[in-house]
Amino acid sequence: HSMRVYQLGLLYGKIKQIPFDLEELCLVSLFHDIGLNEKYRQIGKSFQIGSSSTLREYLKSETKLPITRINAM
């Protein structure tokens, strides 16, 4: 499923001529549904919020990306 999300994101970005980083697209694709998992769910919020928060925390702890890049994902 994540590979289909990646491929659709890749195609959409190219068609719309949106600049993007392939590695960032891959990370977003991998994490996009993780908020459906009870461990990462945020009560009262959509699963997308949980997914986004989980990716943000992962990137903050495991990378040296600037916060502006992290927030853009």
Transcribe 2-71 into DSSP letters.
HHHHHHHHHHHHHHTT----HHHHHHHHHHTTGGGSGGG--TTS-HHHHHHHHHHHHHHHH----HHHHH
- pLDDT bin (cut points 50, 70, 90) of residue 42 is very high
Query: What is the percentage of the chain residues whose pLDDT exceeds 90?
Result: 99
Residue 56 has a CB neighbour count (10 Å cut-off) of 15
Q: What is the mean pLDDT of residues 38-62?
A: 95
Write the pLDDT tens digit of every residue in 2-37: 999 999 999 999 999 999 999 999 999 999 999 999
DSSP state of 1: -
Q: What is the mean pLDDT of residues 31-48?
A: 94
What is the per-residue pLDDT for 56? 96
